[in-house]
Amino acid sequence: MSMTLGPDEFSIEVDSLGGTPLVRLGSVPKGLLEVAVALRGGRVQRCSFIWADDDSPTPCYVAVERARNNGSLVISGFYCHNLPFGLTVRELDVLTLVAIGKSNIEIASRLNLSARTVTTHVDHIMGKMSVRSRTAAAVIAVDGGLLKVPFPGGDDGFDLLELGRAFGGTATRRVVRQPRVVKKPFAFGAVLPLHGLAAADGAEMLRGGRLAIDELNRRGGVDGRQLVMEIADVDILDAESVRRGLIALAERDVDVLTSGYFAQQDLAHEIVANWGVPYLHAATMRMMEERVCSDPRRYQNIFQVCASDAHYAPRFVGVLTGLRDTGGWLPSSNRLVVIQGAWDLTDLGVVQAYALAERHGWQIDVIRIFGDDHDSWASLADRIRHGEPAAVMIGNYHVSGTVSFIDSFLADPSDTLVYALYSPSIPEFREQLGERSEGIVWATVTGTYSDAPARAFAGRYRKRFGVSPGRSHAGLAYDRVQLAATALSLAANPRSSRAVADELRVVIHRGVNGTYYFGNESQTAWTYPSPGVDPSLAQAHLIFQIQDGRQRIIDPSPFADARFRPQSWLARSRQAD
């Protein structure tokens, strides 16, 4: 055998008797050479396949043919830097098992994946191959030599194919003889406030993330690798604490980074942009959306898993307009007040709310609070009580400030509907206010639903930790890990930050807090209701009311499980009832 080969090509000829390579040209994968020696005495005459084992970083297309003159086996091939149809190696695993008639559940079991991940892989395979059925994909794979060797998950079932019979068990024999390799786990970094102002919320985030990791590991992890959580405890108000936490996780080489919210979220964005790790954060800030849009290349790895704060004030106006116009609430006047919190990066969408209010006959006043202590909030509550607007939106995310305001207001309430943001989602809120929390209306752009998947999640959470989850960040942290795990499992190279970020940009994940889809320039989850937004691709901007000591969703449809009840201090509405 005499020939000239290109740099990515190789060829070997194996004696049919002795098994010694007669000719070897180019760089032949070690594992393939061992299989070739094992094949030399078999009945194989001609076959082709894709060789991809753990020792070969680049897959190879291989053709095998037995020479007629001396019975030796000629094996030639080339390295595939790009697999046919743009398939990934993991998709090739799945396609190979589809070719022997395995169901998604059977494939999931053999590859240590979830059935949902396998379903996604099959959908991607059919799309890339431009076929409408699994059978069509299988036929192309068998006829075109697109089956992966060593056979994924062992030889069982491959005797149905001529290729499997040709190998006669040699395709995975070398792998079986090798000692079990423990793969490096995927590390999920979590920057959490486990002390200080947001410690109760940090505990929610920690438990939600741990539950997701525990469940994924029980199902085999991701691509056979276990998941671990690396935690950095930070003070969300201290820029230096946040910086140290992020740097610590960078030094631990985490594969994915997650966080809740920081007062200096812009600092986190800059550190992570320089680092390059896929980052899923829950800082509901329009300014951060605008930052990502300003330089998509620099911030391509940053994803905001919930809609921005700019939706809060317009939604406040919209909800109150609906209650007024349907007769569910009789406002004391046409005046609304929006209290804007002290964080510099906060934008509650006041400009849009002004325009919306004018169309619906409201007048809006905005009050900016700069102190976050009890006296500042109590003074503000007194001001609201004496001014008696129809409704007040407490634009504050922390339990302490919201509780201080409500506690002071309820000492002698005016006929003013109280509408809070986010903080009542944390169990600590009701623990501190007790029965005085009854009737409070509150909104969140990311809340845990009341449907069957969310109830099942809450049950597993209670069983695992002995407490019930709140209605926002526990579910969000759980979903965030599941979402990142899906992206890792789909990525062509899960150790490549860019490959994982590419999957995050296109994956659609339905979690307990709704649907996550980053199909926009800012890479921010969509919100519903919002003009032109499909609710099946968004997270509902939920409006809750505490009724009989329970969190009930009163808007929007179809997610609501209760109707608004006039708060006990709303004199006009209560008299009308």
Question: Both 430 and 455 in a single domain?
Answer: no
| CATH number, residue 50 | 3.30.450
Q: CA separation (Å) from 461 to 212, 214, 325, 466, 468?
A: 10, 11, 39, 8, 7
Per-residue pLDDT at 16 exceeds 60: no
| CATH number, residue 156 | 1.10.10.10
b/e for 506-529, b at 16 or more Cβ within 10 A?
ebebbbbbbbbbbeeebbbbbbbe
Question: Both 560 and 519 in a single domain?
Answer: no
Please answer whether residues 320 and 353 qualify as being in contact, where contact means their C-beta atoms are separated by less than 8 angstroms. no
- CA dist 221 and 236 (Å) reads 31
What local confidence, expressed as pLDDT, does residue 44 receive? 67
| 38 confidence band (pLDDT: 50, 70, 90) | low
Q: Which residue has the higher pLDDT, 14 or 550?
A: 550
Q: How many domains does the chain have?
A: 4
| CATH number, residue 191 | 3.40.50.2300
| Residue finishing a domain among 36, 62, 79 | 79
- CA dist 138 and 455 (Å) reads 39
Question: Both 338 and 357 in a single domain?
Answer: yes
Q: Tell whether 34 is covered by a domain.
A: yes
pTM as predicted: 0.72
Question: What's the pLDDT tens digit per position in 446-491?
Answer: 999 999 999 999 999 999 999 999 999 999 999 999 999 999 999 9
Question: Both 425 and 405 in a single domain?
Answer: yes
| Strand, coil or helix: 218 | helix
Question: Both 116 and 217 in a single domain?
Answer: no
| Residue finishing a domain among 150, 177, 204 | 177
Q: Tell whether 3 is covered by a domain.
A: no
| 2 confidence band (pLDDT: 50, 70, 90) | very low
| Residue finishing a domain among 138, 157, 177 | 177
Q: Which amino acid is at 396?
A: N
Percent of the chain with pLDDT over 70: 90
Question: Both 321 and 400 in a single domain?
Answer: yes
Q: Which amino acid is at 281?
A: H
Whose structure tokens read 């002795």? 18
Question: Both 419 and 314 in a single domain?
Answer: yes
Q: Tell whether 351 is covered by a domain.
A: yes
Question: Both 472 and 565 in a single domain?
Answer: no
Which secondary structure element, helix H or strand E, spans residue 192, and what is its range? Answer: strand 186-192
Parallel, antiparallel or unpaired: strands 509-511 and 514-516: antiparallel
Q: Tell whether 212 is covered by a domain.
A: yes
Question: Both 508 and 423 in a single domain?
Answer: no
Which secondary structure element, helix H or strand E, spans residue 242, and what is its range? Answer: helix 239-251
Per-residue pLDDT at 505 exceeds 70: yes
Helix, strand, coil distribution of the chain in percent, nearest 5: 40, 20, 40
Q: Tell whether 4 is covered by a domain.
A: no
- CA dist 139 and 98 (Å) reads 10
Q: Tell whether 2 is covered by a domain.
A: no
Please answer whether residues 478 and 445 qualify as being in contact, where contact means their C-beta atoms are separated by less than 8 angstroms. no
What local confidence, expressed as pLDDT, does residue 84 receive? 87
Question: Both 117 and 205 in a single domain?
Answer: no
Average pLDDT score over the chain: 89
Question: Both 262 and 304 in a single domain?
Answer: yes
Q: Write out the two tokens for 364.
A: 């809006």
Our CA dihedral for 230, 236, 239, 244, rounded to 10 degrees, sits at -20
User: How many Cβ atoms from other residues are within 10 Å of residue 483's Cβ?
Assistant: 26
User: How many Cβ atoms from other residues are within 10 Å of residue 113's Cβ?
Assistant: 25
Is the preceding omega at residue 179 within 30 degrees of 0, hence cis?
no
Question: What's the pLDDT tens digit per position in 383-425?
Answer: 999 999 999 999 999 999 999 999 999 999 999 999 999 999 9
Question: What's the pLDDT tens digit per position in 217-248?
Answer: 999 899 888 999 999 999 999 999 999 999 99
Please answer whether residues 481 and 188 qualify as being in contact, where contact means their C-beta atoms are separated by less than 8 angstroms. yes
Per-residue pLDDT at 516 exceeds 50: yes
Per-residue pLDDT at 142 exceeds 90: no
Q: Tell whether 246 is covered by a domain.
A: yes
What local confidence, expressed as pLDDT, does residue 327 receive? 95
Question: What's the pLDDT tens digit per position in 83-116?
Answer: 888 898 899 999 999 988 888 888 988 888 887 7
Instruction: For residue 46, give its domain range.
Output: 9-79
Q: Tell whether 411 is covered by a domain.
A: yes
Question: Both 239 and 100 in a single domain?
Answer: no
